[in-house]
Structure 1
Amino acid sequence: MVTRQARPIPVTVIGGFLGAGKTTLVNHILGGDHELKIAVMVNDFGAINIDAALITSTEGGLYSLSNGCVCCGLNQGLVEQLEELLSARIDIDHIVIEASGVADPARIMDTVRYARFAGRLRGDAIVVLVDAAGFDGAIAAAPGLAEAQVGSADLLILNKTDLVSRDTLDAWHARWAFPDTRTIETTNARVPFDLLFASGFPSRGASSPFTAVPVHEQAESITWRHDGPIDAKRLHGVLAALPARIYRAKGFVQASDGRLFAVHVVGTRVSFEPAAHLPEGFDGQSLLVLVGFGRDLPFEGVLAQLNGCGALARSGKKGSA
C-alpha cells in the first residue's frame, strides 16, 4: 500500500451561502461511520454537535473522536492552522475545511495549493451546498458571492430538496447547472461518503456497491483493471468526459513510458500525480475505481472506453474489468 509519507493528504473545502447546510454536513461527517481518519477544520465550534460519547481527548482546541476524526477551530490564519495540524503528526486520511458562508471556497482551495504545501497537501474537491428553498434569497442578498460559490464547485449539493416541488428543482437545474459540475440532490445534507471522499477506494474490494448513506439513490462503484501499459493522454481524455452521473474515480496506472501515476477524478477535474510505486500485489496492473450515483449507471460503456486506453490496444491486447 502507499504509505502516508508517499502521498499528500487530500483536502476538501465545503462551501455555500449562509443556511445552506454546511454545518449539518460537517456534523454528518464527524458522526459518520466512514472508516476514515478525517480532520475537520470549522469556523464556529458552537454550531458543531460533537457527541460527547465520541470525544476521547481534547488538547489545544483539538477534539479527538473515537471514530478516528479530529476537529479543530479556525482560530488563526488558515496557513498557520494547516501547518499546526500537519506538525501535530496525527495519522490523517483526509482534511475537511468548512468555509464561512460569506467566503469564496475557491480562494481557500488556492491556499491549500500554495507551494509550501506541495507534497504534503493535495486539493481534492470543492463541495458547495445550495439551499434549494432559499437560493433566490441568497442571490438577492449577495449575487456575486452566491454565483461565485456555485461556480467554484467540483461537486454541487442541492440541499433541502424536500422543501420545494419537483418543478422548482427542475427550474433550478435549468438555470444554474454548470456543464463542468456534478450535481446531486439531498435532504439534511446526507451526502454519501463515497462521493465526498476518494480516500481508500482501491482497498474496498472489486466491482460491488460501496456502503453509502441513502439519499434518493445509492452510490454504486465498479473496478477497472488493465494488464500492461496505459496511454495516459487517451485515459485523461476518457476520464475528463465521464458521464455526468459518475462523480469520482481513483486509482493507479502505469503509463507507456514507464511512469506510475496516482489518478484522481472529482467531477470533471482530472489529476495524474507521480507515484513511487503501485499498491502491493498489482505488479504492473493498473486499477481504477469509479463511483456514480443513481440507477442504471453507464458503467459498461465507460469500461469499453477505458479498455481502449491500453497502449497495446491497437494490437488487440485490452484491459478487463
Structure 2
Amino acid sequence: MNRIAVTVICGFLGAGKTTLLNRMVQRDDAGRLAVIVNDFGELNIDAAIIAEVTDAVYSLQNGCICCTVQEDLLAQLVSLSQLSPRLERIVIECSGVSDPQRILQTLAYPQLRAQLQLDAVITVVDGVGYSSLEGEFARLSRAQVACADLVLLNKTDLLAPQELAVIRSKLGARVPVIETVYAELPDSLLLSDRGEAGSLKMLPATTRHDQLFESWLWQSPQALDPERFRQWLAQIPPQVFRVKGLVHLQGIQAPQWLQHVGQRSQFSAAQNSDAQQAVQLVFIARRGSELRESLGRSLEACLIAA
C-alpha cells in the first residue's frame, strides 16, 4: 500500500502561507487532497479562507500545533490515513508561531509511519519583515528556515536588489531558495512527487510559543467606516505581528477578508461567509504587550453608529 504524501507549509506570521496553500488546492491535478490548517487564535481564519475553495479542510485552532494541540494533530492524521477511498496527499499549514520540527516528529510516530510519508517542508519567508525580527522571534523564524526542504522568499517585489541580497545572505539556507511574489511557486514545484521523504533535521527546541505570543478576538455587530478603519490599520503598533479576520465595511456589499502584517493590509471579498458578527478580528501580538484594551477602544471609534 502506497503511503500518503505529506507536505508541511510553515513560516512566520504573515509570510504568505495561506496564499501558497490556496494556489496548491486550486490546481486541477491536486488529486485526493486533505488540508489541515492550524491557527493560533480563537477563530481559525485561515481555515475559513481555504474552505472557500475546497471542502476537505480540517481545523486545529486556539493553540500552537507544536505545543498545545499536538495530540489533536496526531488524532487527525490517524483519522485521515484511514479514509476510503484513500487520500493521495495531506497538506499541513502550520500556525506562524509553530516550530515545524515538532510536527515532523509527530509524523514519525508508530501509528503513522506505515501510512504517511513526508514529502517536503516548504518554509515561506516574509522578505520585508524577516530582518526586523529579534530575540526569540528571530530564533523561531530561523528554526522554520532550518527545517525546510524548500524556502520561498516571498514579497520580493517590495525589496530593492541590495536588500534582497542581504536577506539571502542572512537566510544562510542550504536548500533551494525561490524568490516569489504572492507566493507564486512554479507549477513544477507545486505538489510534485520528490521520490523520497524529506529529512528530519533535529535542532535545539525553541521556547514554547504560547510564552512568546498572545492572541485575542475582537467582535462587533456594527460595520466599520472604511476610511477610519484604514487610518486605524496604519497606526497599529509593531508589537502586534498580525491582524486578520472578516469585516463588513460601509458602502461595500460583500464582507471582506482582512490580512494585515507590518504596515501592509490586504482585503479580498469573502465568498461564503455566514459569520454572526459584522466584524471578527483575530490579533496575534508579543506576549505582555498590554494592547488589547487600547486597540479595542480605538477600533470602536471606527464603527458606524447603529
TM-score by length of 1: 0.53
Which residue of 1 is the match for residue 185 of structure 2? 191
Which residue, 86, 89, 97 being the options, matches 2:92?
97
Work out whether 1:71 is the aligned partner of 2:52: no
Q: Secondary structure at the match of 1:43?
A: strand
Residues 114-129 of structure 1 mapped to structure 2, 5 A cutoff: 114-129=109-124
Q: How do 1:284-299 residues align onto structure 2 when only pairs under 5 Å count?
A: none
Aligned residues of 1:31 and 1:50 also touching (Cα < 8 A): no
Superposition deviation, residue 19 in structure 1: 0.5
Cα offset for 1:127? 0.7
Aligned residue pairs, count: 187
CA distance in 1, matches of 2:129, 2:157: 12
CA distance in 2, matches of 1:149, 1:184: 16
Instruction: Answer yes or no: is the 8 Å Cα contact 2:121–2:198 preserved in 1.
Output: no
> Quick one: distance in 2 between partners of 1:126 and 1:24?
16
Query: Which deviations, in whole Å up to 9, do the C-alpha atoms of 1:92-112 show, x marking residues without a partner?
Result: 211110111111111101101
Task: State how far apart, in whole Å, the 1-side matches of 2:118 and 2:199 are.
Answer: 13
Structure 1 residue 145: Cα displacement: 0.8
- CA deviations on 1:20-43 (whole Å, 9 max, x unpaired) are 011111122222223422211012
AA at the equivalent of 1:72: Y
Q: 1:146 to 1:73 in 2, by over 3 A?
A: same
Q: What TM-score, normalized to structure 2?
A: 0.56
> Structure with the greater relative contact order (CA < 8 A, sep ≥ 6): 1 or 2?
2
The amino acid that maps onto 1:49 is I
Secondary structure at the counterpart of residue 168 of structure 1 = helix
The whole-number CA distance in structure 1 between the counterparts of 2:102 and 2:4 is 19
Alignment CA distance shift 1:72-1:265 (3 Å): closer
Measure how far apart 1:154 and its partner are: 0.8
Is 1:17 paired with 2:17? no
Q: Is 2:105 the counterpart of 1:110?
A: yes
The answer to whether the 8 A contact 2:118-2:198 is kept is no
Distance 2:198 2:188 in 1: 11
* Residue correspondence of structure 1 range 1-321 to structure 2 within 5 A: 6-44=1-39, 45-47=44-46, 48-50=48-50, 52=52, 63=55, 70-74=56-60, 77-139=72-134, 142-179=137-174, 181-199=175-193, 249-250=194-195, 264=196
- Taking the aligned partners of 2:104 and 2:163, their CA distance within structure 1 comes to 31
Question: What is the letter of the counterpart of residue 46 of structure 1?
Answer: I
Instruction: Describe the shift of the 1:107–1:28 C-alpha distance in structure 2 as closer, same or farther (beyond 3 A).
Output: same
Task: State how far apart, in whole Å, the 1-side matches of 2:92 and 2:84 are.
Answer: 18
- Following superposition, the deviation at residue 177 of structure 1 comes to 2.3
Fraction of identical pairs, as percent: 36
Please list every run of 5 or more consecutive structure 2 residues that lacks an aligned counterpart in the other structure: 62-68, 202-306
Aligned partner letter, 1:191: L
Deviation at 1:265, TM superposition (A): 6.8
Separation in 2, partners of 1:35, 1:21: 20
Quick check: 2:16–2:182 contact (8 Å CA) kept in 1?
Answer: yes
